[in-house]
Amino acid sequence: MSTQEAVTASILVIGDEILSGRTKDKNIGYIAEYLTAIGVDVAEVRVVPDIEDEIVAALNALRARYTYVFTTGGIGPTHDDITADAVAKAFGVEISVNAQARAMLLERIPEADLNEARLRMARIPHGAALVANKISKAPGFWIGNVIVMAGVPSIMQAMLDEVAPQLKTGQVMLSETVRADAKEGDVGGPLGEIAKAHPGVSIGSYPFADELGRPNTNLVVRAREPALLAAAMADVQAMLAARKAG
């Protein structure tokens, strides 16, 4: 469904292995790009350790502030997987083995192998809806405005595909990029003027090294209204043309 209000989200990455640098996160960029494309603006990201109080505090801060919170990590079968318990605590609800989640696990795991550790993956806070996952079958879940997903990227991506059609979405942020063929410091002045003249538009400037290692700049113009975007982009293009002509 689509509305005209801005729909916001935050991403909460849960895991000591990200904070120690042992595992390099691949989920933040993926989720950010995915949500932006469907009209959900990611407004904040946090990474917290596998400590229940930290997870609960971050969850409560974020869910009060944004339309959605997407969490990744901490829903596996081991003692350090404490996300489901932390979510239950944040919402003040009970948690126990969910029959439907258990049945999902049994689609992939023989009943003889469904030990206590694996059954942890079927422990779901009361009141949550399950988020199916084609890869490992172990479900994520959705409670209130919080969507709880796996940390393994392929599984997280399958869960995101599952929930995306049910998300409230806003007007997509449109974006156009132009290569300035100039150093950032050479276009910074005029660009600031253009940004000031176009209040509904956000203009970003991103330096990069070109094919030969020379400094160059990408200018990114973003707006929700096509007309606003076009007007700002026309001014940016005119500024760049004037620079080249001069």
Rounded to the nearest whole angstrom, what is the least distance from the CB of residue 96 to its own copies in the complex? 18
Site string for its own copies, 50-79 (x = CB under 8 A): x---x---------------------xxxx
**Does 86 participate in binding its own copies (rule CB under 8 A)?**
no
What's the chain's length in residues? 246
> Of 127 and 200, which CB lies nearer to its own copies in the complex structure?
200
Q: From the list 28, 38, 95, 174, which residue makes contact with its own copies (rule: CB under 8 A)?
A: 28
> Of 127 and 188, which CB lies nearer to its own copies in the complex structure?
188
Q: From the list 113, 181, 210, 225, which residue makes contact with its own copies (rule: CB under 8 A)?
A: 113
Count of C-beta atoms within a 10 Å radius of residue 144: 16
**Does 184 participate in binding its own copies (rule CB under 8 A)?**
yes
**CA 17 – CA 34 distance, rounded (Å):** 24
**CA 6 – CA 97 distance, rounded (Å):** 36
122-141: which residues touch its own copies (CB under 8 A)?
Answer: none
The residues near 58 (Cβ < 8 Å, ≥ 6 apart) are: 12, 46, 48
Backbone angles phi, psi at 223, to 5 degrees: -160, 160
Q: In which residue are the tokens 């209204």 written? A: 225
Question: Collapsing DSSP states into helix, strand and coil, what is residue 236?
Answer: helix
**Does 171 participate in binding its own copies (rule CB under 8 A)?**
no
- The maximal CA–CA distance of the chain, rounded, in angstroms, is 77
Question: Collapsing DSSP states into helix, strand and coil, what is residue 70?
Answer: strand
**Does 25 participate in binding its own copies (rule CB under 8 A)?**
yes
> Of 4 and 20, which CB lies nearer to its own copies in the complex structure?
20
Q: Nearest-CA neighbor of 70 among 1, 159, 152, 173?
A: 159
- Range in contact with its own copies (rule: CB under 8 A) among 86-94, 115-123, 125-133, 237-245: 115-123
Contact residues for its own copies, defined by CB under 8 A: 13, 16-25, 28-36, 41-50, 54, 76-80, 109, 113, 115-118, 120-121, 152, 173, 175, 184-189, 191-192, 195-196, 202-207, 220, 222
